[in-house]
Structure 1
Amino acid sequence: MNKISKEDRFPQWLRSFLKINFFFRPCEIHDSFKKECSMYCLDCTGPALCYSCLVDHKDHHVVQIRKSSYYDVVRICDVSKFIDISDVQPYIVNDAKIVYLEERLKSRFIEEGVKYTCKTCRGMLPEPFRFCSLRCKRKGLKKDPNLTFVLRPKLSQDDSKDADSPK
C-alpha cells in the first residue's frame, strides 16, 4: 500500500484552524460592538471572525465554533462537509452532534475495565472511536501513515459492485 503524503492527509485550513486559540475573544475590528469571535473562514484561514466580519466572507465556507462545558466544539453537520472526522468521538449537546477541538482533560482518568482510550491523550472512549478530539486525531497523523482528514469520495452502488467483481 502506498504511503499517503502528509499534505494530502491534512488540509491547510485545518492546520490554522487548530492553531487558533482565541475564539470567543472580542473582535479587534468590531470592538465597539462588543462582538466575540466565534466563526472561522475555511477559505481565508485567517483569524477568528465575529458575526459583523462575515459580510466580507459571504461566499466563503465558514464554520461556527461553540462552547460546551468550557471546551470549544464544532457541529458535525458543519465540519463533516470539509474533513473526514471518522475515528473522532461525537457527542450530543443541545440536540446537536458535535466534536471537540481540543482533548478533554476530564476524561483522562481511566476507570477499571475501560478497554478503549484515545490513541493520543489516553482519555476514555467508547468503541470504535480512536480519538477524543480533532487535535488528537491531528496528532495521530504522525503515528499512522494511513490516517487522514481528507474526505474520500463515497462509492455509489454501481461502483461498489464493480469493485467487488473479479477483473
Structure 2
Amino acid sequence: MNKISKDDRCPSWLWSLLEKIDFFFPCETHRKSGKKECSLYCLDCTGPALCYACLADHQDHHVVQIRRSSYYYVVRICDVSKFIDVSDVQPYIVNGAKVVFLDEQLKSRFIDEAVMHTCETCRLSLPDPFQFCSLRCKREGLKQDPGLTFVLPPKFSRDNSKDADSPK
C-alpha cells in the first residue's frame, strides 16, 4: 500500500485516484446486488472503483469511501488522513463530517481585494487560510514547491519527548 511516486512525496495510489478513477456508476460484477453503486477505492490495488459487494475481495486492504457534494467528489478527512497529510488542504463540513475535495471546484477564480485566501494552484477563493482547495491542487503544487509533501510526519511519542528534554 505504501507505493510512492517517483519523487517520494505523493503515494502512487493518489496519482491513480486523481487521474483515472470515476465513481457512482453501477458495478459491472454485482449489478443484482442491493449496493451496486461504485463509491469505494482500494488504496492497495489502485484499480477501478468498487461497490460494497466488491469489498469481499479486498478484506485486508485499505479502502476509502468517496462521497459526492454538489457534483464534486470528496473524501472524509478522518479516512484519508491515516495515509496522507491533508493539513494544508481546505476542509469543508458535508453532512456533519469534515471532508476535502478531490478536484478543484469550478467557482469564482477572480482575485478580489476582499478575498484574503486563495488556492496556490487554481486561485480559487478559500474561506480559511489554507494553501490548496483540493487534493489535486496540492498534487499540482508539488511541481512548484520541492518542500511540499503528502507524506505524513513521524508521530510524536513519549520516547521522542524524553530525548528532546534531555540535556545534550
Aligned length: 163
C-alpha separation between the residues in 2 aligned to 1:123 and 1:133?
A: 10
2:46 maps to what in 1?
A: 45
Q: Residues 41 and 65 of structure 2 are in contact (CA less than 8 Å); yes or no, is this contact kept in structure 1?
A: yes
TM-score w.r.t. length of structure 1? 0.88
TM-score w.r.t. length of structure 2? 0.87
For 1:66-109, what per-residue CA distance to the aligned partner results, in whole angstroms no more than 9, with x for missing partners?
00111100000000000010210000111100000000111424
SS at match of 2:16: helix
C-alpha separation between the residues in 2 aligned to 1:93 and 1:17?
A: 21
SS at match of 1:8: coil
Percent sequence identity is 74
2:140 maps to what in 1?
A: 139
1:107 to 1:155, Cα distance in 2 relative to 1, 3 A: farther
Query: RCO (CA 8 Å, sep 6+): is it higher in 1 or 2?
Result: 1
Matches within 5 A, 1:49-68: 49-68=50-69
Q: List gaps (5 residues or longer) in structure 2.
A: none
Q: Which has the higher helix share?
A: 1
Further displaced range: 108-117 or 11-20: 108-117
Deviation at 1:158, TM superposition (A): 5.0
Q: Residues 20 and 48 of structure 1 are in contact (CA less than 8 Å); yes or no, is this contact kept in structure 2?
A: no
Q: Deviation above 4 Å: which 4+ runs of structure 1?
A: 163-167
Deviation at 1:25, TM superposition (A): 1.3
2:107 maps to what in 1?
A: 106
- RMSD, aligned CA: 2.0
Q: List gaps (5 residues or longer) in structure 1.
A: none
